[in-house]
Amino acid sequence: MAIQKLQWTGPHVVIIGGGFGGLEVAKRLARAKVRVTLVDRRNFHLFQPMLYQVATAALSPSDIASPIRQILTDVPNCRVGLAEVAGIDLAKRQVIFRRHALKYDYLVLAAGATHSYFGNDQWAEVAPGLKSIENAAEIRRRILLAFESAEYEADAESRQAALTFAVIGGGPTGVELAGAIKEIATGTLVADFHYIDTATTRVMLIQSNERLLPQFSPKSSERAKRDLETLGVEVVLNSRVTEITERGFRCGDQFIAARNVFWAAGVAGNPLARSLGVPLDRSGRVIVEPDLSVPGHPEVFVIGDLAAANSADSGAAVPGVAQAAMQGGRHVARLIREEVAAAPSVKPPRAAFVYRDKGSMATVGKARAVVEIGNWKIAGFPAWFLWGAIHIFFLVGFRNRSKVFGKWFWNWLINARDARLILGVSQVQILNASSEDLVDLEEPPRVSSPDDLPAA
């Protein structure tokens, strides 16, 4: 089959992962004499910093996802593959798929991170995390179902458990999620329920550290805590969760009945890293050279959340944020461009990666945030406004931004959460209020087979 629209010449660069890092590499190689193949198992780039907005029904999945093909339409030397990578063969320089292998001259690993439950993988079922669109949809489903189930729960204790939410982990994701859940309960939903007062919903934020947002200054941490408490969130510091079940969680020597526990604590590098056979750090991330390459394999780079890197100037660890992934992508693309442009016999010296911290920010509920840019620290509404502006207008230069901004600003104004769909529910049974019309069945209804169960 002829390659029709591609500019297809030069060394083959394979990029694994269509997140912030991988896309940046592809874009920055647009004018280089290389062939680029970007592989992801999904057809879309996910704007993860807004994922909690999907989990809390303020945005739809498609608002924060853009097709990778569309983002890379103008990169004439890049093809996009939808495939699941099974492993990497560093010796043969091949990416291994189910039935095929793809040869590379350069490989950029930008496959990101997943959750880590610190060895308690059984918690994943009861306490989902927030990394993928599916995670967000599941959290949204659980939040909305919690109120439905409380509405018809006759027993006061069970009702309270249904209306108790706990978010484990006090980083930006945990802070954002806890604030948003409390806001749903006290705002959007109050008028929709007849039997329960959704404003009585209990939202706890459990943090093992002595303060929230440890990557911020103590002053911002304190401000975030105060703002959350103003919203009505209970912030619990210096506490580790030792048990999570469907009924609740144990924290210290207390077991708290909570039907809704969400995980925002640990991350781990994509398991793909293990197939490399090179040293990983405790979180399963690849320990890279100063130029972001894999030790002993200068043709393989790791960027973004999957890399355990230190900035060459300060020696400080590079954080797992979108900015770092994009800067890493730019750095790697530059090294590849320089080597490809050099004469075949010349190996240009490689610059070490320097991470420039452009600032940190986290929202605290609606219309509040904490922002730190260098020594400049702001909080409250101005910080929230800046957070919105930066996230929406600068971070993703993709198609969705005007639409998302419109929807988001509108929701903020009218206090709406439009995306309140409960999907994927097959066996619901939420109509057991004590009521003069309700009859307890002594035996289950006579239905010939489960397939005969009709739908309402």
**Interface segment toward a second copy; rule CB under 8 A; list 3-11, 171-179, 221-229, 386-394:** 3-11
> Using the rule CB under 8 A, is 195 a contact of a second copy?
yes
Q: Which of 3, 91, 343, 413 binds a second copy (CB under 8 A)?
A: 3
Residue matched to tokens 């930008």: 110
Map residue 37 onto helix, strand or coil.
Answer: strand
Nearer to a second copy, 119 or 445 (CB): 445
Q: Say whether 176 is catalytic.
A: yes
Q: Which residues, numbered 109-128, are part of the site for a second copy (CB under 8 A)?
A: 111, 114
> Using the rule CB under 8 A, is 163 a contact of a second copy?
no
> Using the rule CB under 8 A, is 62 a contact of a second copy?
yes
Q: Which of 91, 346, 413, 439 binds a second copy (CB under 8 A)?
A: 439
Q: Which of 34, 36, 55, 85 binds a second copy (CB under 8 A)?
A: 85
Largest Cα–Cα distance in the chain?
A: 88
> Using the rule CB under 8 A, is 152 a contact of a second copy?
yes
Q: Which helix (H) or strand (E) holds 307?
A: strand 307-308
Instruction: Kindly state the smallest distance separating residue 226's Cβ from a second copy, in Å.
Output: 32
Nearer to a second copy, 191 or 343 (CB): 191
CB 73 within 8 A of CB 152: no
> Using the rule CB under 8 A, is 91 a contact of a second copy?
no
> Using the rule CB under 8 A, is 154 a contact of a second copy?
yes
> Using the rule CB under 8 A, is 427 a contact of a second copy?
yes
> Using the rule CB under 8 A, is 413 a contact of a second copy?
no
Separation of alpha carbons 296 and 424, rounded Å? 47
CB 186 within 8 A of CB 201: yes
Between helix 401-414 and helix 380-389 the angle, nearest 10°, is 150
Separation of alpha carbons 438 and 431, rounded Å? 9
Q: Which of 69, 250, 297, 358 binds a second copy (CB under 8 A)?
A: 69
Instruction: Kindly state the smallest distance separating residue 383's Cβ from a second copy, in Å.
Output: 28
For a second copy, how many residues bind (rule: CB under 8 A)?
Answer: 100
Q: Which residues, numbered 367-396, are part of the site for a second copy (CB under 8 A)?
A: none
Q: Which of 199, 342, 351, 430 binds a second copy (CB under 8 A)?
A: 430
71 φ/ψ angles, rounded to the nearest 5 degrees:
-65, -35
> Using the rule CB under 8 A, is 281 a contact of a second copy?
no
342 φ/ψ angles, rounded to the nearest 5 degrees:
-75, 160
**Interface segment toward a second copy; rule CB under 8 A; list 230-238, 321-329, 367-375, 448-456:** 448-456
The active-site residue, picked from 148, 176, 339, 372, is 176
Q: Is 428 exposed, middle or buried (0-12, 13-18, 19+ CB in 10 A)?
A: exposed
Map residue 240 onto helix, strand or coil.
Answer: coil
Query: Tell me, what amino acid is at 262?
Result: F
Q: Which residues, numbered 16-55, are part of the site for a second copy (CB under 8 A)?
A: 16-17, 35, 37, 39-44
Task: Give the end-to-end CA distance of the chain in Å, rounded to a whole number.
Answer: 51
> Using the rule CB under 8 A, is 409 a contact of a second copy?
no
435-438-439 Cα angle (round to 5): 140
> Using the rule CB under 8 A, is 400 a contact of a second copy?
yes
> Using the rule CB under 8 A, is 449 a contact of a second copy?
no
Map residue 14 onto helix, strand or coil.
Answer: strand
Q: Which helix (H) or strand (E) holds 319?
A: none
> Using the rule CB under 8 A, is 300 a contact of a second copy?
no
Residue 232 gets which letter from DSSP? T
> Using the rule CB under 8 A, is 104 a contact of a second copy?
yes
Nearer to a second copy, 215 or 283 (CB): 283
Closest C-alpha among 240, 173, 229 to residue 203? 229
Residue matched to tokens 């959340």: 305
**Interface segment toward a second copy; rule CB under 8 A; list 202-210, 229-237, 267-275, 361-369:** 267-275
Task: Please give the positions annotated as active site.
Answer: 176
